[in-house]
A and B are shown apart, each in its own frame.
Chain A
Amino acid sequence: MKITLTVNGRAYPLDVEPRRILADVLREDCRLTGTHLGCEHGVCGACTVLVDGEAVRSCLMLAVQCDGSSVRTVEGLAGPDGEPHPLQRAFSAEHALQCGFCTPGFLMVAAGALEADPTIGDDPERVHGLVESNICRCTGYEPIRRAIMRAAR
């Protein structure tokens, strides 16, 4: 099936089987391997990307469902000159990553929430809810929570 995905502002005309999930198409057809796949059933959140501005699990969406949609992945966070996104700077400053496998998912879930509502940092419970969305086996979550609060300032 022929579809067009706009990923990080660039149009990708693609021909994909309906059974292929968004995450695989981003990684294999668009060659954007920043999006990671962990559990492939919606639990771990490593594959979280923004579809039309909303953070979703790219393992639980078919690529054909996103025909005509605008997708943003972790590769789309940094500025055109390579300047890291405020969230990326905050993750670095707060040591919010160790092995880094889950980091793209946490960055995108936080980016979606911050762009939808920049005041989220005023509500620690909502930040807590975001951090609960994904699994990290290294950091113990507290540095991630601090990084999101820092970026929201």
Chain B
Amino acid sequence: MKPAGFDYAVPRTVPETLDALADTARDIKVLAGGQSLILEMHLQRIQPDLVVDINRVTELDRLSVNDGTVEVGALIRHGAFESPQAVPGPLGTLFSRAVVNIAHPPIRVRGTMVGSLAWAHPASEWCAIATALDADILLQGPDGTRQVPASDWFRGPLRTARRPGELITSVRFPLLGADSGVGFIEHRRTHFCFAQVAVAAALTVRGRVIDEARIGLVNCADRPVRAHAAAQALTGADVGSLGTDHRLPDGHPFLRAGRIAAEQDAAPLAEPYADLEYRRHAIAVLVGRTLRQAAEGVPQ
């Protein structure tokens, strides 16, 4: 099918964009990368009255580092994060490990990180990281600016706290200290599938003892989930030996954390190719592997 007809606006500034978004009686969609939106418009599952194309709002095409945070503007494409140097420290490594899982290079030069947070697909890689690190989503709207923490942003599949007339201008992540290690692992049925489970993790380790674990899970519930129970079980645990082959030794805290994440933090839904037992097993295994990858990255 082809997209149904719509009106089209091309603002040049944020105020012009807000003007275009102001008529909340109409069904209005913001077009950034369009790699999900235009596909849904093809299928006519989305038929907006007005498409507001923000690609010429150059002030949104900005990536800035200040005060221990990195702020990613609404026009920064996925592909910008393929180099681990795009963002300082371990956060850059985490982004670069995640981004290769997002579709393919021709999609990554168009799609945007902020667009993924706006779209809020339950399997989105960026949503896993935003949830793990409790990133702030920055918005401008008719009532001024506001920010929403990721913990309060996702309201269900493809549903967020964005109000009509609001534009997400950027997302702000805390940078990670040099004593952090990061991991990102996802499982897909085939290369072209969405993640069946994806896990993002950042570990801070002092000596061999875990100071803090931050774990984000996607496609493990109807929205991205922060694995608080698993993180709590890890705090103060000894990293110990990670084993010599690819398996963690029996009784390792990461294995236990994986089981806690799967049983207590996640609320998976059965899918045609994955019943609940399988999904919980996959979550437990992937959380363990991701924590191991993160621990291996902690400077000795």
Contacts and interface: CB of A to CB of B under 8 A. Distances in A.
Contacts of A55: 105-106, 109
B246 interface: no
A41 B103 CA distance: 12
B106 A18 contact: no
Interface residues of B, number: 30
Contacts, number: 83
A18 B8 contact: yes
A59 B34 contact: no
A24 B110 contact: no
A56 B109 contact: yes
B147 interface: no
A132 B104 contact: yes
Nearest to B2: A19
Given A18-B51, A41-B42, A129-B105, A56 B2 contact: no
Nearest to B50: A18
Interface residues of A, number: 32
Contacts of B5: 17-19
B43 interface: yes
A62 interface: yes
17 contacts: A1-B8, A18-B6, A18-B51, A20-B2, A45-B106, A54-B106, A56-B106, A56-B109, A57-B106, A60-B39, A60-B107, A60-B110, A61-B38, A129-B105, A133-B106, A134-B104, A135-B192
Interface of B: 1-8, 10, 31, 34-35, 38-39, 41-43, 51, 53, 55, 100, 103-107, 109-110, 191-192
